[in-house]
Chain A
Amino acid sequence: VIMVSDVGGLGDKSFNDGTWAGILKAKDKYGIDVQVIQSKEQSDYVDNLSNAAKEADVVIAVGFMMSNALFDVAPQYPATKFIGIDIAPPEGGKVPKNVQLYLFKEQESAFFVGYLAAAMTKTGKVGFIGGIAIPPVERFRYGYIAGVKAYNDIYGENVEVVVGYTESFTDAAKGKSMALAQYAEGADIIFAAAGACGNGVIDAAKEKSLKLYGIDANADLATVIDKYFEKGEGYFAIGVDSDQDYMAPGYVLASALKRVDNASYYGVRDAYRNRFKGGLQVLGALEDGVSLSQMKYTKGLVPARILAEIEYLNYAIKSGLLIVPDNENDLNNFSADIEFPF
């Protein structure tokens, strides 16, 4: 199995790393040979995919950037199986037989964190920071705003969302500045769907909280939590893609997960068991494709009722009772028609 990364490359703490984790899991289980090839620029994709196709039985293309290259290369190597992570079908909609695509319902995990943020805000304002307005980022935004709306509908509140774009997935300094600006405008929880810019957002949350709590950077989690309750407020970031809660325990409220690891694992597993079908699969909460993080460090901060509500929302989504909007139109028409059974 060879994985071809996009220009983000390994170490992005996002879908490249996630995909790789899934592959490693499959490796441990089935004892297959694995390798990763990194791409430096757009024009490397065709080249790298072709070379990989000659070497490997299964080639995994990671990232939406690679879609054109993938659909050019795959038909040329019918004997090789291709797995596309976060890659949408071509415009015609016809996916080559030897290609299995995985997409994600980012809006669903964003919905959870949106609901959570709305429930947790003390200021009535939450933030969203996007990188570049590409479709996955936009789906995160739709879901996030829908989550806030749902909370507003259910509780008759009026939590607002401040939106900003860094126009970059790499400039952490800009992410931090933007987070500080949003905090200054009254937001106290910010969800960053902006790649590595998000690290800056997390840093901003930590910095603001440290000041508010009057503790220093090395304070342990217990102190942080105590202080939160003592002050009755705090600043939080919300992570994206992978579980980023550990990056600043106590300051990252939760992460909206996109389980690319599961996707790559499913793909490799199917190929190994000769059950590879080809086609498109959109992984949502139901398929364990997206979810809310474990909230290992922050669960104690959230009222049990809210956690229960989110659990129920998860159920509602999985069972189709609730459909989270994935475009501007649906978002505008969205209203949460939910009654909690408790």
Chain B
Amino acid sequence: MNIFQAVFYSFSTPIFYKLMLMSATPLIFAALGGVFSEVTGVTNIALEGIMKIGAFTAVVFTFYTGNPWLGLLGAIIAGVMLAWLHAYVSIRWSADQIVSATALILIASGLSAFLMEPIFGHSGQTDFVAKIPKVKLAFMKDVPFFGQIFDEMSIFVYLAFIAVALSWFLIYKTPLGLRMRAVGENPKSADTLGVNVFKIRYFGVLMSGVLAAFAGAYLSIGELGQFQENMPSGKGFIALAAMILGNWNPVGAMWAALLFGASDALNIQLQSILDIPPEMKALLNLLPFVITIIVVSGFVGKTRPPAADGVPYEKE
């Protein structure tokens, strides 16, 4: 099979779409988190850290309770707590948001690594715990092609798309969303109309904690059933890129995450299909990154952040 045939063959297989969705799901959640925070004007490059702490706490809660749903709840709590730290210093104390986020990434990885020993008796990776069960769509079973994609899929995948729709609705169709956008674009103007800039920003940042925690929980109790020290493996940063590529819009972020997921799936599949030397297979891993660069520079071009993104708001 030559490369073109292989690419076309990939596109024609259900597994391609399945892998794409699996790879995109954590990115969608985390990128949505980024959107929530930045739309209100607080940058959040700590997504990686929140994902990590979310993934870890999810496993810890599941480990103690045996119930992965409580694990998810734990992840959300932990994600919100970490996000709150970011919000508190960024909003209340006008801290440099990039420094604060960098610190939180360190704290998240220190904390999760450190707590593993006392909780599980060993470091590096946790024990295996129960996973959130997959959704099986019985009626899908006999549908050709789609049946094989959706026969059995993590509920997180569906939740991710629901989250996209809800986020879009919230940000573009509700009074709260209007205020969020106003606060991210021109906080002073919102302030003069009696909108509480601080509250809205807290909401945005805390929501990013919730969503990034979902992303982390998907990785740990959604797919693998355990937490490993290096868990998000840089996915938080890729999500950040997806958020920008999607122009700070939930739907755009979703497309960007799907694009990345698709190129990742393509890489993985090509490796399984093509008969090329190992060095070349290793280099195929470059595909998602190269494709993203080509898309951002060739087709998307300039994206525009909320005007007050990253600018602390101070009264007087």
Residues of A within 8 A of B (CB): 8-13, 16-17, 127, 130, 132-133, 138, 141, 162-168, 170-174, 176-178, 180-182, 184-185, 196, 199-200, 203, 207, 211, 216-217, 247-248
Beyond the given A130-B278, A177-B264, A217-B131, please list 18 additional residue pairs across the A-B interface where CB-CB is below 8 A: A9-B124, A11-B116, A11-B122, A16-B124, A138-B278, A162-B272, A171-B233, A173-B26, A173-B219, A174-B264, A180-B19, A181-B15, A181-B272, A182-B272, A199-B226, A207-B152, A217-B133, A248-B128
Report the bound CA distance from A173 to B272 in whole Å.
16
Q: List 26 A-B contacts (CB under 8 A).
A: A9-B123, A10-B124, A11-B122, A12-B125, A13-B124, A13-B125, A127-B272, A130-B278, A163-B278, A165-B278, A171-B233, A172-B223, A173-B223, A176-B22, A177-B268, A180-B19, A180-B22, A181-B265, A184-B15, A196-B125, A200-B224, A203-B224, A203-B225, A207-B134, A217-B133, A248-B128
Cα–Cα, bound, A196→B128 (Å) = 13
Q: Check B18 for interface membership: any CB of A closer than 8 A.
A: yes
CB of B242 to closest CB in A, whole Å: 16
A206 nearest CB neighbor, chain B only: B225
User: In the complex, which of the residues A130, A165, A170, A176 contacts B233, with contact meaning CB atoms closer than 8 Å?
Assistant: A170
Interface string of B1-36 (1 = CB under 8 A from A): 000000000000111001100110010000000000
A164 in contact with B268 given A141-B278, A184-B13, A203-B224 (CB within 8 Å): yes
Alpha-carbon distance A11/B123, docked complex (angstroms): 4
Identity of the chain A residue whose Cβ is nearest the Cβ of B20 in the assembled complex: A177
Give residues 259-276 of B contacting A (CB, 8 Å): 264-265, 268-269, 271-273
| In contact, A177 and B265 (Cβ under 8 angstroms) | yes
B233 close to A173 (CB less than 8 A): yes
Chain A residues within 8 Å of B23, by CB: 173, 177
CA distance A133 to B264 in the complex (A): 19
Contact yes or no, A217 B268, CB < 8 A: no
Contact with A along B118-129 (1 / 0, CB 8 A): 000011110010
State the B residues within 8 Å of A (CB): 13-15, 18-19, 22-23, 26, 116, 122-125, 128, 130-131, 133-134, 151-152, 219, 223-226, 228-231, 233, 235, 264-265, 268-269, 271-273, 278-279, 281-282, 285
Of all chain A residues, which has the CB nearest B285?
Answer: A167
Would A173 and B22 be within 8 Å (CB), given that A10-B123, A165-B282, A184-B15 are in contact?
Answer: yes
User: Distance (Å) between the CB of A67 and the closest chain B CB?
Assistant: 22
CB nearest neighbor in A for B130 = A217
Given A141-B278, A164-B281, A181-B19 contact (CB < 8 Å): yes
A-side contacts of B265, CB under 8 Å: 177, 181
B266 nearest CB across to chain A (Å): 10
Q: How far is the CA of A207 from the CA of B285 in the complex (A)?
A: 24
CA distance A163 to B272 in the complex (A): 7
What is the CB-to-nearest-CB distance from A122 to chain B, in angstroms, rounded to a whole number? 18
A170 touches B230 (CB 8 A): yes
Residues from chain B with a CB closer than 8 A to the CB of A168 are 233
On whether A164 and B272 interact (CB within 8 A), knowing A177-B23, A177-B265, A184-B13, the answer reads yes
Contact check, B228 vs A196: say whether CB atoms are below 8 A apart: yes
* Cα(A301)–Cα(B176), bound, Å: 60
B125 and A11 contacting across the interface, CB-CB below 8 Å: yes
The distance in angstroms between the C-alpha atoms of A211 and B285, with both chains bound, is 29
Query: In whole Å, how far is B149's beta carbon from the nearest beta carbon of chain A?
Result: 11
Contact A10:B122 (CB < 8 A) given known A163-B281, A176-B224, A217-B130: yes
Bound complex: CA A16 to CA B125 (Å): 13
A180-B15, A180-B18, A185-B273 known; A196-B282 Cβ under 8 A: no
Chain A's nearest CB lies how many Å from the CB of B272? 5
A181 CB, min distance to chain B CBs, angstroms: 5
Question: In the complex the two chains form, what is the Cα distance from A203 to B226 in whole Å?
Answer: 10
List the A side residues contacting B264 at CB < 8 Å.
Answer: 174, 177
State A168–B225 Cα separation when bound (angstroms): 19
B278 cross-chain contacts in A, Cβ below 8 A: 130, 133, 138, 141, 163, 165
| Chain B residues whose C-beta falls within 8 Å of the C-beta of A207 in the assembled complex | 134, 152
A181 proximity list for chain B (CB < 8 A): 15, 19, 265, 268-269, 271-272
What residues of A have a CB within 8 angstroms of the CB of B19 in the complex?
177, 180-181
- Chain A: minimal CB distance from B113 (Å): 8
Whose C-beta in chain A lies nearest to the C-beta of B124? A11
A contact residues around B229 at 8 Å (CB): 9, 11, 170
Bound CA span A185–B223, Å: 21
Q: CA–CA, A16 to B130, complex, Å? A: 26
Q: Which 6 A-B pairs have the closest CB atoms?
A: A11-B124, A170-B230, A184-B15, A11-B123, A164-B271, A171-B233
Taking the nearest CB of chain B, how far is it from the CB of A297, in angstroms? 15
Using A133-B279, A164-B271 as known contacts, say yes or no to A199 and B22 having CB atoms under 8 A apart: no
B69 to chain A, nearest CB (A): 15
Measured CB to CB, the closest approach of chain B to A62, in angstroms, equals 13
Q: Could you tell me the distance between the alpha carbons of A141 and B279 in the complex, rounded to whole angstroms?
A: 13
- Report chain B residues within 8 Å CB of A163: 271, 278, 281
A178 surroundings in chain B (CB, below 8 A): 268, 271-272
| Cα–Cα distance between A185 and B271 once the two chains are bound (Å) | 11
Q: How far is the CA of A161 from the CA of B269 in the complex (A)?
A: 15
